Amino acid sequence: MKQTLLTIPLCLAISASGILAQPVEVLSYGSIPPRIRNSNPTLAAARFRIDEAVGRMEQSGRLPNPSFETGAEHNVRNAEGAIVFGFSQKLPVTNRLSLEKEITAAGIRAAEVEVRDVERLLIAEAQAEYVKFVSIRQRLVLLERQKKLSGELAEFISEASERGEVSSLDAAQAKLAALRIETAARQLRTKETTVLGKLKPLVGIPPDAAVSPSGNLPAISVPSIKAVDRPDLDAARIGVEAAATGIALQQARRRDDIEATVFVAGERTEDAPEGLENEGIIGFKLSIPLPFWNDNSGNIKEATAIRSRKEKEVKAMECGIRHESQTALTEMRQWADLISDLENKLLPLAKEQTELLDNAYRQGQGDLQAVLSSREQTLELLASKIDAMREFRLARIRYEAALGVR
């Protein structure tokens, strides 16, 4: 059931004639992840989240800058006066600074896994568009083959009609069937343009470049169940840890910082009858806030609710991942069964019936409408197989993306 992709010459042959003048980018399923990592602008922008988190961590857990204080006074009636210079520093009495540092360090880990999650989603999106693109190319090859067969039949009918062996209406009917195939091919090329419009920016291909698929897509086989390694789930769990630290931080903020001041003062005083005297003073002040009116209980309650919410979000995400992966796994099994039936039962029967009707018509023993109808049914079955393989692979992409498989 392994499907070989189109070779580059064949792909180019079925494309529009103008595409030959375009630069061609060869793209394979396996080259998508490295292309995303190296060329995707959305991922490049997301990486700056890590730098933002590093900056926040470097800024957190620091003491506030000290304050310089100065003052002067002068007695307007005599020469007495004073001048004061001092430095004040606020100092925490709890472990608030270390808790702030811990929270921002968790922010770095969260940013790193969030970037991985952006990468996961972009790779899955690009792989899905690539599978659709290859499916369209396979459908176009199928139509080209059908067009060739219809052309051969139309030529046979035209020659037989000139000899008077068949009706001229049969020749017109055969030409109409060929035109219908060409119309279907034009519709597919329009869809291909839409798919490429989504795929190219994801993998860093210029808009004016043509894309040629290369290599093989994953085989049609249901993968074994793997462990979950979702970056967004890791980020949610880190969020729970940070929220627990946030509760401790709000509890530490119940007590405000104390403020210590060291000052130097110089005074000039008049001491009768001695006269003016200069005095120097060195002092220390300590300001201790009293927790009478604000115990930070509201912020503690909010932080507790945030942790509870994040815990529930983790459980909801785990439940969603289980359902998403199981649904995709069930879809793969169903599509694989359908592909097996098409390959082993329906297509062989349809091809045999088409060959019998075609041979009978060429020998003057059958009806053209039956031949065209049989060919159309065979074409529909072949197209159904391509579509089923496409849907299987899309389900596999969803399954691997749901589990975080890299």
Task: Tell me the domains of the chain and their CATH numbers.
Answer: 8-403 (1.20.1600.10)
- CA nearest neighbour of 140 among 3, 22, 23, 13: 13
Residue 299 pLDDT: 94
- Helix ranges, 220-343 (H): 231-252, 297-341
Q: Exposed, middle or buried by CB within 10 Å (0-12, 13-18, 19+), for 304?
A: middle
DSSP codes, 160-172: HHHTTSS-HHHHH
CB 248 within 8 Å of CB 227: no
Model confidence at 14, in pLDDT bands (50, 70, 90)?
very low
pTM: 0.81
Tokens 């189109």 sit on residue: 6
pLDDT at residue 369 is higher than 70: no
Q: Are 250 and 327 in contact (CB under 8 A)?
A: no
Confidence label for 15 from pLDDT (cuts 50, 70 and 90) = very low
> Which of 124, 267, 269, 138 is closest to 202 using CA atoms?
124
**CA within 13 Å, CB half, 376:** 13
pLDDT score, position 227: 84
Query: Residue 251: is its pLDDT beyond 80?
Result: yes
| Stretch among 123-132, 150-159, 197-206, 395-404 having the lowest mean pLDDT | 150-159
CB contact at 8 A, 6 and 141: yes
Cα–Cα distance for residue pair 310/351, rounded to 1 Å: 58
Which range is least confidently modeled, 7-16, 187-196, 330-339? 7-16
Distance of CA 125 to the CA centre of its chain: 7
Cβ atoms within 10 Å of 291's Cβ, excluding its own: 10
Residues in the chain: 406
> Which of the four pLDDT bands, split at 50, 70 and 90, describes residue 159?
low
Residue 3 has pLDDT above 60, yes or no: no
Average pLDDT over residues 212-228: 87
CB count in 10 Å sphere of residue 395? 21
At 367, the pLDDT band (50, 70, 90 cuts) reads low
Q: Is 1 a residue whose pLDDT tops 70?
A: no
Phi-psi region of 204 (alpha: psi -120 to 50; beta: other; left: phi over 0): left
Query: Measured between alpha carbons, how far is 186 from 180 in angstroms, rounded to an integer?
Result: 10
Q: Checking DSSP bridges between strand 81-91 and strand 258-271, what pairing results, if any?
A: antiparallel
Residue 404 phi, psi (nearest 5): 80, 25
Mean pLDDT of 202-218: 90
What mean pLDDT is predicted for residues 37-47?
94
Q: Count Cβ neighbours within 10 Å for each residue of 337-360 and write b for 16 or more, e otherwise.
A: ebbeebeeebbeebeeebeebbee
pLDDT range class, residue 223, cuts 50, 70, 90: confident
Q: How far apart are the first and last CA of the chain?
A: 24
Per-residue pLDDT, 185: 86
What's the rounded Cα separation, in Å, for the pair 189 and 196?
10
What angle separates helix 231-252 from helix 96-162, to the nearest 10 degrees? 160
What integer pLDDT is reported at residue 362 of this predicted model? 67
Tokens describing residue 368: 């053209």
- The side-by-side arrangement of strands in the sheet containing 275-287 is 67-74, 81-91, 258-271, 275-287
Report the alpha-carbon distance of residue 63 to residue 96 in Å, rounded: 10
In degrees, rounded to 5, the angle at the alpha carbon of residue 129 between the alpha carbons of residues 11 and 391 is 95
Q: What is the pLDDT of residues 255-313, one digit of tens each?
A: 989 999 998 988 877 666 666 777 888 989 999 998 888 889 999 999 999 999 999 99
11 contacts 213 by C-beta, under 8 angstroms:
yes
Burial (CB count <10 Å: 0-12, 13-18, 19+), residue 267: middle
Q: What is the pLDDT of residue 7?
A: 41
What average pLDDT does this structure show over 5-32? Answer: 61
- Averaged pLDDT score across all residues of the chain: 84
Cβ partners under 8 Å of residue 374, min gap 6: 350, 353, 354, 357, 358
Percent of the chain with pLDDT over 90: 53
Q: How far is 193 from 5, CA to CA, in rounded Å? A: 19
